[in-house]
Structure 1
Amino acid sequence: MVVNIYDTANQMERDLRGTQEFKALEEAYAELKKDDETFKLFRQFQNLQMQLQQKQYSGQQPTDDEIKEIQGVADKVRDVKSIQNLMEKERGIDELLSGINNVITKPIQELYKD
């Protein structure tokens, strides 16, 4: 029997869109986008996080100014209810995907269990 695992993955992608967690994330993101200033702040925070991660992945340390900048933006983000709501919904999706990952990788975990 030949299994096309990508067919299963594509079905999972479609199923994920129908989950309560994804729908909640979608709604939270739409709500966030309604306020231009809040959305700009959110994008700024995302970009700073990405820049910091890229620097760390390449073995570089962030400068004190970069750390202060992201901390300042993070402080602003903490005060915005719609951004906090979105981040809460992201955690829900992360938990769901982590559980799915555990199921998918179970054969590998079992293989190395001995």
Structure 2
Amino acid sequence: MAENLHDLGNQVAAALQATPDFQALQKAFDEMKADAETYKLFQQFQQLQGTLQQKQMAGQKLTDDELKNAHDLADKVSKIESVKHLMETERGVNQILSDLNQTITQPIQNLYQG
């Protein structure tokens, strides 16, 4: 049964990649990535986010310097047009994922409500 679910998951992943929303996201990412300086800054931002999330998940408190650095980098990245466009197009894909998650978890919600 689990193999069938994984197969279905792979089919859903392929279907997601075929959506206009995903294709717009891919195009926006490629456009942002074409500017080496912007892409480097974007990677730094992602890495910093990941590091801070790991630290928080480990129960560690973020320092004021870490928070300031994250805020400053986020502010800098968010002012770049190609990054803003990337984030806007990402919302469409996130909405699809949210809808899918709700559909997939509906049986669990029904179980607890019924």
Normalised by the length of structure 1, the TM-score is 0.93
Residue 113 of structure 2 aligns to a residue in which SS? coil
Structure (1/2) with the larger helix percentage: 2
1:46 Cα deviation from its structure 2 partner:
0.5
The amino acid of 1:28's aligned partner reads A
Q: Within 5 A, what are the aligned runs for 1:19-58? A: 19-58=19-58
The amino acid of 1:59's aligned partner reads G
Normalised by the length of structure 2, the TM-score is 0.93
Deviation larger for 99-108 or 3-12: 3-12
Cα displacement string for residues 52-72 of structure 1 (whole angstroms, at most 9, x for unaligned residues): 101100001111111111111
**Root mean square deviation of aligned Cα:** 1.2
Unaligned runs of 5+ in 1: none
Residue 26 of structure 2 aligns to a residue in which SS? helix
Aligned to 2:65: 65
Unaligned runs of 5+ in 2: none
Q: How many residues align?
A: 112
Aligned to 1:107: 107
In structure 2, C-alpha distance between the alignment counterparts of 1:10 and 1:34, rounded to whole Å = 29
